[in-house]
A = this chain, B = another copy of it.
Amino acid sequence: MKKVMTALVSAIFMVNGYSQNKPSNSKELFPKGEKITNNNFTGTAYLKMLINADSLNTTTIGNVSFEPKGRTNWHLHPGGQILLVTDGIGYYQEKGQPKKILKKGDVIKCPPNVEHWHGASANEHMVHIAVSDNDKGAVVWLQPVTEEEYYK
């Protein structure tokens, strides 16, 4: 009987382990990528480029993972930007507008040349896909989001 029980208990963990490792249940839809080390972000964020621009298609797509309190600086995109939230809870704010709460499944369309920032909430991480068309120029980075702005 001990052998049977051991086999069954092992089976539980095997089945559970299998479920957790199956691609369809994976927490990370796209790879997390590398830690961002430039000064255009506050706190911790990771970037994995999924699509780079080329001469025929100027769209770029990046998977960005923000740890709690991690956020971009204020910035703008000459061609606008689209954000598709795939996990966690985060914030999005356009200059002069109130901060919006972002959650998995939310979609944001930021118009061209509108100053904005995005990032994780104070207590939870946030992951989004960022789609930018660079035919009108690359992102313009501005000043960091202050603590006062972040928590307002």
A57 CB-CB contact with B under 8 Å: yes
Contacting pair B8 A12 (CB below 8 A):
yes
Interface of A is mostly: mixed
With a cutoff of 8 Å between Cβ atoms, the chain B residues found around residue A25 in the complex are 19-20, 22, 24-25
With a cutoff of 8 Å between Cβ atoms, the chain B residues found around residue A20 in the complex are 19, 25
Contacting pair B27 A29 (CB below 8 A):
no
CA gap between A86 and B103 in the complex, in Å: 17
Contacting pair B82 A30 (CB below 8 A):
no
CA gap between A88 and B15 in the complex, in Å: 19
CA gap between A107 and B4 in the complex, in Å: 45
CA gap between A50 and B104 in the complex, in Å: 13
Which 3 pairs across A and B sit closest by C-beta, in order of nearness?
A19-B19, A8-B8, A57-B80
A residues whose Cβ falls under 8 Å from a Cβ of B: 1, 4-5, 8-9, 11-12, 15-16, 19-20, 22-27, 29-31, 50-51, 56-59, 61, 79-80, 82, 84, 86-88, 103-105, 107, 109, 111-112, 129, 131, 133, 135
Not counting A19-B19, A24-B88, A59-B131, a sample of 9 additional A-B residue pairs whose C-beta atoms are within 8 angstroms of each other reads A4-B5, A5-B8, A8-B11, A15-B15, A25-B25, A26-B104, A29-B86, A61-B82, A61-B107
